[in-house]
């Protein structure tokens, strides 16, 4: 489904008001950025996996990859702006040929540097050297592990993926990742394997920690719970399994006004593989560039115009404010 | 359910009176369909999944008692000495023994959200089933006592 069709489907909120109306009801419209604290850079849609929930619809067949001039511009902006966090995502970032060069440049800026990796490439050539590249650049690794049960996790990400992740985590643990006092951080993202919302982050983290250690001898720092947003392949899944209406209703019913104040778009700027700017990675996949007068291309970056921009919203935004809230850093409110 | 009942009755009549078929009207598929739809309507009008969303409104017309109930409900089902997972499995088992479709829906989803596996949920269901069977059979004590007292 292309972005236009997805937005059309998302318009069907039934008995519930569109997200913009809901925000108006609680007097928070328009939603306005509070600054740019995180720049999330999507290095491209190429990936070795084709996960069933992927909002990016990434896969081996995708050819969209961020080029070096766009990455150079990102570095230039980061150097001259007080942005604390560089968050690299994809696709599989390792499949972008410029990643190693970019990490070296970004590490020199002494900011918080995150790479969202599926880890499965780290056991294969020509990607194994990234195990050491990540250590050298003190990269914080965030990896998706939808469940601590292999069969369940593989239902979402593909056969054999769970074992590869566990193997990579063991190697990273042996280099200090997830171990006390090392300063090397590896966090796990949990997202539901199906049409329901994630449970309490603390309860799930406790269970993950116990099960991964006892069953696989693996350590990690934090668990982040992410709500699956009805975008990309996950939207396809919801429709094909006849869960779309129920799921969207659940998101609308679970609207949490307190989570609105902490949505990630208020402090994040998302950069697409081709340099276009978005309020978040989900807007990126729906083709909703930053708007309301802010420049929408990295080449025209202007922090003054972007830092207090009005956020572009649509009904998928219900996902980030449902229940305890959801962001790339996990729940946004405490249960 | 209604359709099954009609078919069952037909079957019994045929067994008791093998020749009655000649006097019965031929099977009426339209009527069967109508009954089936009626049965669906019956279920839908009483137990609609979307009515689960009305649960927060059960305090309507009795706000004080409603608020007290929710306060108690939250305290009883939230994590304490028992974890949220353990309490959710207990609630799921109770929901099934009490045949409450709303609670089954809510607690199956909650168990999924908490990462509880289908095997664990099925084990909880069997605890509920075993308890129901045990409760039924334990009450045969009363039945057996009365039989023994009243029979010569």
CATH assignment at residue A146: 3.20.20
B10 in A contact zone (CB under 8 Å): no
Question: Please, what's the b/e burial string for A21-37 (b: 16 or more CB within 10 A of its CB; e: otherwise)?
Answer: ebbeeeeeeebebeebb
Residue B38 confidence (pLDDT): 60
Residue A293 confidence (pLDDT): 83
> Which chain B residues are within 8 Å of A192, Cβ to Cβ?
112-113
B114 in A contact zone (CB under 8 Å): yes
What is the DSSP-derived secondary structure letter of residue A226?
Answer: -
Q: Locate the chain A residue with the closest alpha carbon to B54.
A: A253
Q: How far is B114 from chain A (nearest CA, A)?
A: 5
Q: How far is B113 from chain A (nearest CA, A)?
A: 4
Which comes out higher in pLDDT, residue A224 or B20?
A: A224
Average pLDDT over residues B81-98: 97
Report the number of secondary-structure helices (H) and strands (E) in chain B: 7, 0
Instruction: Identify residues of A whose CB sits under 8 angstroms from chain B CBs.
Output: 147-149, 152, 190, 192, 194, 196-200, 203-204, 206-208, 246, 249, 253
Q: Number of A:B CB contacts under 8 A?
A: 36
Backbone angles phi and psi of A123, in degrees to 5: -95, 0
Summarised one tens digit per residue, pLDDT across range A56-81 is 999 999 999 999 999 999 999 999 99
Residue A184 lies in a domain: yes
SS3 state of residue A144:
strand
**Is A85:A193 a contact under the CB 8 Å cutoff?**
no
Closest among A247, A153, A151, A229 to A193, alpha carbons compared: A153
Residue A19 lies in a domain: yes
Residue A330 lies in a domain: no
Are B50 and A249 inside 8 Å of each other by CB?
yes
Residue B24 confidence (pLDDT): 47
Whether cis (ω within 30° of 0) applies to the bond prior to A30 is: yes
Residue B23 confidence (pLDDT): 45
Residue B20 confidence (pLDDT): 45
Structure-token pair, residue A242: 């006849």
Q: 């006892």: which residue's tokens? A: A214
Q: How far is B141 from chain A (nearest CA, A)?
A: 43
Give how far Cα A35 sits from Cα of A104, A265, A303, A321, A325, Å: 26, 10, 9, 19, 20
Average pLDDT over residues B25-37: 62
- Please report which confidence band the pLDDT of residue B49 belongs to, taking 50, 70 and 90 as the band edges: confident
Are B110 and A246 inside 8 Å of each other by CB?
no
SS3 state of residue A112:
strand
Q: How many structural domains compose chain A?
A: 1
Residue A335 lies in a domain: no
CA atoms within 13 A on the CB side of B61: 0
Please provide the distance, in angstroms rounded to a whole number, between the alpha carbons at the two ends of chain A: 35
Which segments in chain A show pLDDT lower than 70? none
Summarised one tens digit per residue, pLDDT across range B106-150 is 999 999 999 999 999 999 999 999 999 999 999 999 999 999 999
How far is it between the farthest Cα atoms of chain B?
A: 69
Percent of chain A with pLDDT over 90: 95
Residue A277 lies in a domain: yes
Residue A214 confidence (pLDDT): 98
Structure-token pair, residue B43: 């279920």
Structure-token pair, residue B28: 């009426």
Domain of A89 in residue numbering reads as 3-321
Strand partners, A59: A46
**Cα(B147)–Cα(B5) distance, integer angstroms:** 33
Are A249 and B115 inside 8 Å of each other by CB?
no
Residue B84 confidence (pLDDT): 94
Average pLDDT over chain B reads: 83
Residue A240 lies in a domain: yes
ipTM surpassing 0.85: no
Residue A304 lies in a domain: yes
**Is B52:B102 a contact under the CB 8 Å cutoff?**
yes
Residue A106 lies in a domain: yes
Are B115 and A204 inside 8 Å of each other by CB?
yes
Of A152, A199, A249, the CB nearest to B113: A199
Give how far Cα A143 sits from Cα of A225, B69, B115, Å: 12, 41, 18
Q: How far is A184 from chain B (nearest CA, A)?
A: 27
Residue A288 confidence (pLDDT): 97
Residue B33 confidence (pLDDT): 64
B82 in A contact zone (CB under 8 Å): no
Q: What strands lie across the sheet with A85-89, from one edge to the other?
A: A223-225, A186-190, A140-144, A112-116, A85-89, A38-42, A268-271, A277-278
Q: Locate the chain A residue with the closest alpha carbon to B82.
A: A203
pTM above 0.90, yes or no: no
């Amino acid at each position: 489904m292309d972005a236009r069709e997805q937005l059309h489907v998302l318009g069907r909120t039934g008995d519930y008001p569109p997200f913009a109306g809901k925000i108006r009801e609680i007097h928070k419209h328009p939603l306005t950025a509070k600054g740019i604290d995180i720049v999330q850079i999507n290095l491209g849609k190429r990936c070795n996996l084709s996960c069933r929930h992927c909002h990016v619809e990434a896969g081996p067949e995708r050819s969209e990859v961020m080029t070096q001039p766009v990455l150079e511009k990102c570095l230039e902006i980061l150097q001259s702006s007080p942005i604390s966090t560089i968050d690299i995502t994809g696709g599989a970032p390792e499949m972008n040929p410029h990643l190693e060069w970019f990490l070296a440049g970004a590490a020199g800026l002494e900011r918080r540097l995150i790479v969202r990796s599926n880890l499965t490439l780290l056991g294969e050539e020509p990607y194994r050297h990234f195990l050491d590249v990540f250590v050298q650049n003190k990269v914080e690794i965030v990896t998706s592990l939808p469940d601590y049960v292999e069969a369940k996790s593989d239902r979402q990400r593909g056969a054999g993926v769970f074992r590869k992740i566990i193997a990579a985590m063991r190697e990273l643990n042996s280099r200090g990742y997830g171990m006390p006092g090392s300063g090397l951080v590896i966090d796990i993202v949990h997202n539901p394997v199906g049409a329901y919302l994630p449970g309490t982050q603390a309860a799930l983290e406790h269970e993950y920690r116990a099960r991964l250690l006892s069953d696989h001898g693996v350590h990690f720092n934090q668990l982040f719970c992410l709500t699956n947003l009805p975008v990309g392949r996950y939207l396809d899944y919801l429709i094909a399994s006849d869960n779309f209406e129920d799921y969207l209703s659940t998101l609308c019913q679970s609207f949490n006004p307190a989570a609105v104040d902490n949505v990630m778009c208020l402090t994040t700027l998302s950069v697409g593989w081709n340099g276009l700017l978005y309020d978040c990675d989900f807007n990126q996949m729906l083709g909703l560039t930053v708007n309301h007068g802010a420049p929408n291309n990295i080449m025209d970056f202007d922090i003054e115009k972007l830092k207090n921009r009005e956020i572009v919203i649509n009904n998928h935004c219900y996902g980030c404010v449902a229940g305890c809230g959801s962001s790339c850093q996990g729940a946004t409110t405490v249960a | 359910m209604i359709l099954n009942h009609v078919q069952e009755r037909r079957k019994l009549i045929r067994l008791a009176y093998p020749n009655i078929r000649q006097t019965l009207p031929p099977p009426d598929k339209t009527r069967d369909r109508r009954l089936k739809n009626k049965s669906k309507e019956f279920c839908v009008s009483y137990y609609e999944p979307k009515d689960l969303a009305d649960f927060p409104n059960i305090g309507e017309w009795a706000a004080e008692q409603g608020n007290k109930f929710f306060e108690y409900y939250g305290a009883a089902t939230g994590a304490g000495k028992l974890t949220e997972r353990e309490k959710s499995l207990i609630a799921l088992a109770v929901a099934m023994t009490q045949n409450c479709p709303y609670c089954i829906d809510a607690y199956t989803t909650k168990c999924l959200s908490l990462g509880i596996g289908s095997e664990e949920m099925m084990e909880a269901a069997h605890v509920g089933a075993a308890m129901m069977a045990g409760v039924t059979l334990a009450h045969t004590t009363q039945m057996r006592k009365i039989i023994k007292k009243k029979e010569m």
